Structure 1
Amino acid sequence: MRSPETDSPSQRLDEQFHAALARWTRSLSVVSPALALVDWAAHLGLSPGRRQELAALAQQQAAELAAYARDGWLQASGLALAGTPQPPLPDRRFAAPGWQQWPFSVMQQAFVLQEAWWAEATRDVWGVDKHHGELVAFWARQLLDMGSPANLPWSNPEVLRRTLAEGGMNFLRGAQDWVDDVQRLLTGAPPAGSEDFAVGRNLALTPGKVVWRNELMELIQYAPQTASVQAEPLLIVPAWIMKYYILDLAPGSSLIEYLVQQGHTVFAISWKNPGAEQRELGMDDYLRLGIADALRAVNAILPGRKVHGVGYCLGGTLLSIAAAAMARDGDERLASLTLFAAQTDFSEPGELGLFIDESQLSLLEAQMQQRGYLRADQMAGAFQMLRSYDLLWSRMVQEYLLGERPALNALMAWNADATRMPARMHGDYLRQLFLRNDLAEGRYLAGGRAVALSDLQLPMFVVGTETDHVAPWRSVYKLHHLCPAEIRFVLTSGGHNAGIVSPPGQGHRHFRAATAAPGQPYVAPQDWFDGTPVTEGSWWPAWGQWLADERGGPRVKPPRMGAKAAPVLGDAPGQYVLER
């Protein structure tokens, strides 16, 4: 990011204009999708063969829809033979029985077929930039989703049935919920139901002590719960865009609690929720004040012991950079690396990359330069758009049309307790990693010198999740061709959060796991997926076994809480996690 002190008056004017524009567009670039649309439309106009294919597809879909509508009408009129007409393109969003009845069956299929046509129309057009094609496809899907028959009360059979059964009371409840949500949005209040959850009351309850604090993080040491422990401790580095206690939710669903009960000495970083005064903190500051200070504090409590580094999401990316810098400098304090849903190669970051280009970053950087940080709701809005059906439209239908407000659970309450991001750090992160992919290309500078993931020789345990929209598992898997170390790769069911918070005993969980030894030929992601057997249950015990097998050794007496020379600063979960 630019330094305001060196900007010319014209640069400051442009920054102010971009910041004002970002406020009107909710930080979304209007230029980027416009350029994408021009690119796509112009090249489609120069592709007569592709236009013929799309015209033929439209004719085919129209014929299929007409036949489906006819058969449905005949059946509804009692004029057809027994049997339900099969839709041309079944879709899980319209699986409810009411959607199979005429005329709703025709409405939903008209929408699904139109959506499929646009998905086909925005791909494989000669000459279109890949990013532009994906942008056009994304925005076409967003606009179509807005007009889905499921979102309208008069074309949704489930809403009509509920309205008739309740005499319209569902709309009254929905209106009350809508007013409440708008008030909360305008005042910055958390979502309804959040009041039932509180850190230290029914969240983040694993006993521990804050043993170190600086201007960026608190380090928590968790109290032992076994008579003896593994000799080498674990240091957990969460992402700075989230509160750390996703790994210490309610008892029974806390990974930290599980690790302590298995005999591990666990330390966890709790990041400060930054404000404007932290605007100049960058990635190097997070490495220095975060990981480096945390390792020094752990070493003071357990001198001479190696440490198992554990990083989640961006925390895993940061930990990978720190580990590569330590390898570069001959620092051997790490015993192993465990990465949860963490990318190190950003060349294919998934749909989140739709929001990262020069046009988009210019708006974000202008806003962050003026405010000093990126608001949590800006990041949340991008995630909502990536999964608009699951996180936006279906929720609105359920709450505002059906009048059903689902109860908040612990994971949802955590998700609403988001954090801000310092302007410099987030700008550096987006540009150096997402936009330029400096870490994977060997250009990333830590402490002023380049780091390379190829220097890493530590055994690694790497977890990807099957339905991750933030760190797609194939992107996480790319570490295999960046690093020569032994990698135990695990692919678990679930998404970016629910796939990681996967305690033993939960139903409908499974994972795949295989180890790539140093020197072993590279296996492509799909080949790995097809050739790796499925194991039912949680992956947590498999990780615990890996830690014991790879770096176990004899168990020892639990360490004291805190260092002799530094007093304990207070009880877990500490102060920083409570900041709003």
Structure 2
Amino acid sequence: MTDNAQPAFPTLEDWQHWTLVMGKAQQMMMEAWADGLGKDGVMPWTSAFAFGAPPVAGEAGPGPATGSGDAMGLMAAGAQAWVKGLEAWSHVLAGDSANKRDRRFAAPEWTQDPIFNTIRQSYLAIADRMLGTVEQMDGVEPAQHAKLKFAVQGFLDAMSPSNFALTNPQVLKKTMETRGENLLRGLSNMLRDMAAGQMTQSKPGAFEVGKDLATTPGKVIKETPLYQLIQYTPTTDKVLKTPVVIFPPWINRYYILDLTPEKSMVKWCVDQGITLFMVSWKSADESLAHVTLDDYVLRGQIDAIDTVRDLLGVESVHTVGYCVAGTTLASALAYLQARDEAAKVKSATFFTAQVDFSEAGDLKLFLGDEVVNLLGQLTAENGYLDGRYMAATFNLLRGRDLIWNYVVSNYLLGEEPPPFDLLHWNSDTTNLPAGWHRDYLETLYRSNKLVESGGISVDGVPVDLTTVTTPSYIQAGREDHIAPPQSVWKVMDHFAGPKRFVLAGSGHIAGVVNHPSTGKYQYWINEQPCGTLESFIEGATEHKGSWWPDWFNWLKGLGGDTVDAKGARVPGKGKLKAIEDAPGRYVRER
């Protein structure tokens, strides 16, 4: 061979060989992945069917109909179907679907190569037909119809030809260029995730809590078996007299509100002159197996409220409840109202929180009897639920972006995900007390008892949301798939006090965590009384950027008196001495 000889271009036989090898490797890896995770109990993000979404039976599709619940088997069968049966589907094509904005098919080969263009068009046409068939079904109960639609969408997302080395031109190209190194790296990535029990979504080691995230200066000034109370160091000479106490959801780490300094709501609040306190919940272990609603309301939220009132010598505090912590905060307000102690709370702010679960969105799809039974099996031994199960459930709600996207990039292309603080937080799971978690799902999500007068009791006291007169600021995310805006709006229907509703652009996280300096998104306000979300939207005025300044002005409108930022306003300088620096040890515990 001469020095200027060109390497031989792969023959058709070479191409076929590599394709078959990669198809087999893909099938083997996926089967090994499912088998490895199954040894310690099926991780819910491996299969939508594991959480009660019904199998798609009797539907024509890119693979055999099955009720087995084996998503990996469906995927392997689907890969073969795409290769062998494309011509059989060609008659359903209703024209080119290239105009569809779909990141899965962004590579030019999907439109420029005739074979992959046909694969893409076939898949999109079949997906449209299957989803259209579900939409047109009559005589199906709404709850069952929603489950079926979710299952079909999950099935179609899983069966996308982009998810298989055999039918993804980017993967084929990368494999030829690297001579298979990408698959070896992908296998290494997959084995690492199998050992950890969850999918990697942000570059490992890129962030450290207390160093890169949750860095706003402060001190832990109180610690109980359930929570740590953090007080943040003031950065202004004067601060609002009435402090703010934030209750994050116990199903997540609190630092979603204190990410990098450029995104931190905590830092922004302190810089506006707010004396700010944050509850950091303990990740559940055997010691918390017994906790109930009473614990989170009385020994959590109300205890923190009383602690801050006593520390600063103030009559009342502003409170914030995020997601499920907003649900329990509503319970706390009704409890205080019943005991004639409502004056302890000057205002309540709800970030994407629900009290009426009649329209609670896709999470209700995961609440069948089989799910409750599975939760009982998973938690019977130690009394708490591994937080990875909840994280996996939330990932399933956006499976295309939060699961299959990483299957392709991490496992097939062999890439490391880029560093992303929000996705690092998303993977930093918190364990949940099993009994209380099941009771929350049963009593609130399934039975919707909180909106019944006396439907639930706190410390033996029946509560009634319609008695709550505390001024409330209610924020919802327009694209929220966890707490849909129509569900969050229902707070407006139940509370009796003055209320301000804001609809923010984006979803459950980005709709809340939207620093004013970014200039991103928008929010809508309607100053006129509105009886429905629809009427609110119809007459709402759009405002560019973050809603945080609107909320801050609302707080000041309830009382703008200020005091010097000294004495007990400085962490550790009052009667409660500093235990340790923020962010504290609870947020680091696994």
- The interval holding the TM-score normalised by the smaller chain is 0.7 to 0.9
**TM superposition shift of 1:310:** 0.5
2:400 corresponds to which of 389, 394, 409: 389
Q: Secondary structure at the match of 2:381?
A: helix
Are 2:271 and 1:232 equivalent residues in the alignment?
A: no
Are 2:326 and 1:316 equivalent residues in the alignment?
A: yes
In the alignment, the residues of structure 1 paired with residue 204 and residue 93 of structure 2 have an alpha-carbon distance, to the nearest angstrom, of 48
TM-score, structure 1 normalization: 0.82
In the alignment, the residues of structure 1 paired with residue 149 and residue 55 of structure 2 have an alpha-carbon distance, to the nearest angstrom, of 13
Distance 1:368 1:304, change over 3 A: same
**TM superposition shift of 1:30:** 6.3
1:279 corresponds to which of 273, 289, 293: 289
In the alignment, the residues of structure 1 paired with residue 361 and residue 229 of structure 2 have an alpha-carbon distance, to the nearest angstrom, of 32
In the alignment, the residues of structure 2 paired with residue 249 and residue 30 of structure 1 have an alpha-carbon distance, to the nearest angstrom, of 33
1:363 corresponds to which of 374, 386, 398: 374
Amino acid at match of 1:538: S
Aligned to 1:268: 278
**Sequence identity, in percent?**
34
Aligned to 1:398: 409
In the alignment, the residues of structure 2 paired with residue 213 and residue 342 of structure 1 have an alpha-carbon distance, to the nearest angstrom, of 26
Aligned to 2:457: 445
In the alignment, the residues of structure 2 paired with residue 563 and residue 456 of structure 1 have an alpha-carbon distance, to the nearest angstrom, of 35
Distance 1:303 1:97, change over 3 A: same
Are 2:212 and 1:196 equivalent residues in the alignment?
A: no
Distance 1:249 1:88, change over 3 A: closer
Q: Secondary structure at the match of 1:371?
A: coil
Aligned to 2:421: 410
**TM superposition shift of 1:559:** 4.6
Aligned to 1:479: 491
2:548 corresponds to which of 540, 558, 563: 540
Superposition pairs of residues 131-280 of structure 1, within 5 angstroms: 131-185=143-197, 193-280=203-290
Q: Secondary structure at the match of 2:165?
A: coil
**Deviation string for 1:285-313 (max 9, x for gaps)?**
11111012101210111223320011111
Contact map agreement 1:89 1:113 (CA 8 A) in 2: no
1:529 corresponds to which of 537, 542, 545: 537
Q: Secondary structure at the match of 1:551?
A: coil
**TM superposition shift of 1:347:** 0.9
Are 2:587 and 1:577 equivalent residues in the alignment?
A: yes
**TM superposition shift of 1:113:** 2.2
Amino acid at match of 1:213: E
In the alignment, the residues of structure 2 paired with residue 504 and residue 354 of structure 1 have an alpha-carbon distance, to the nearest angstrom, of 35
Aligned to 1:514: 526
Distance 1:63 1:22, change over 3 A: closer
Contact map agreement 1:454 1:483 (CA 8 A) in 2: yes
Superposition pairs of residues 19-30 of structure 1, within 5 angstroms: 24-26=41-43
**TM superposition shift of 1:490:** 1.8
**TM superposition shift of 1:314:** 0.9
Aligned to 1:427: 438
Distance 1:137 1:97, change over 3 A: same
Amino acid at match of 2:449: D
Contact map agreement 1:217 1:289 (CA 8 A) in 2: no
**TM superposition shift of 1:215:** 1.1
In the alignment, the residues of structure 1 paired with residue 259 and residue 434 of structure 2 have an alpha-carbon distance, to the nearest angstrom, of 29
Amino acid at match of 1:240: W
**TM superposition shift of 1:409:** 1.9
Contact map agreement 2:476 2:504 (CA 8 A) in 1: yes
Contact map agreement 1:301 1:563 (CA 8 A) in 2: no
In the alignment, the residues of structure 1 paired with residue 365 and residue 387 of structure 2 have an alpha-carbon distance, to the nearest angstrom, of 18
Aligned to 1:290: 300
Aligned to 2:82: none
CA RMSD of aligned residues (A): 2.8
In the alignment, the residues of structure 2 paired with residue 402 and residue 373 of structure 1 have an alpha-carbon distance, to the nearest angstrom, of 36
In the alignment, the residues of structure 2 paired with residue 239 and residue 264 of structure 1 have an alpha-carbon distance, to the nearest angstrom, of 21
Aligned to 1:11: none
**TM superposition shift of 1:554:** 4.3
**TM superposition shift of 1:484:** 2.9
**TM superposition shift of 1:190:** 7.7
TM-score, structure 2 normalization: 0.81
**Deviation string for 1:490-512 (max 9, x for gaps)?**
22222222222211222542222
Aligned to 2:559: 551
Contact map agreement 1:239 1:313 (CA 8 A) in 2: yes
In the alignment, the residues of structure 2 paired with residue 169 and residue 316 of structure 1 have an alpha-carbon distance, to the nearest angstrom, of 48
**TM superposition shift of 1:229:** 0.4
In the alignment, the residues of structure 2 paired with residue 262 and residue 525 of structure 1 have an alpha-carbon distance, to the nearest angstrom, of 31
Contact map agreement 2:218 2:582 (CA 8 A) in 1: yes
Contact map agreement 1:219 1:269 (CA 8 A) in 2: yes
Contact map agreement 2:217 2:582 (CA 8 A) in 1: yes
In the alignment, the residues of structure 2 paired with residue 554 and residue 31 of structure 1 have an alpha-carbon distance, to the nearest angstrom, of 51
Count of paired positions? 516
Aligned to 2:473: 461
Superposition pairs of residues 60-99 of structure 1, within 5 angstroms: 65-66=92-93, 68=95, 91=102, 93-99=104-110
**TM superposition shift of 1:350:** 0.8
**TM superposition shift of 1:400:** 2.1
In the alignment, the residues of structure 2 paired with residue 22 and residue 378 of structure 1 have an alpha-carbon distance, to the nearest angstrom, of 15
Aligned to 1:75: none
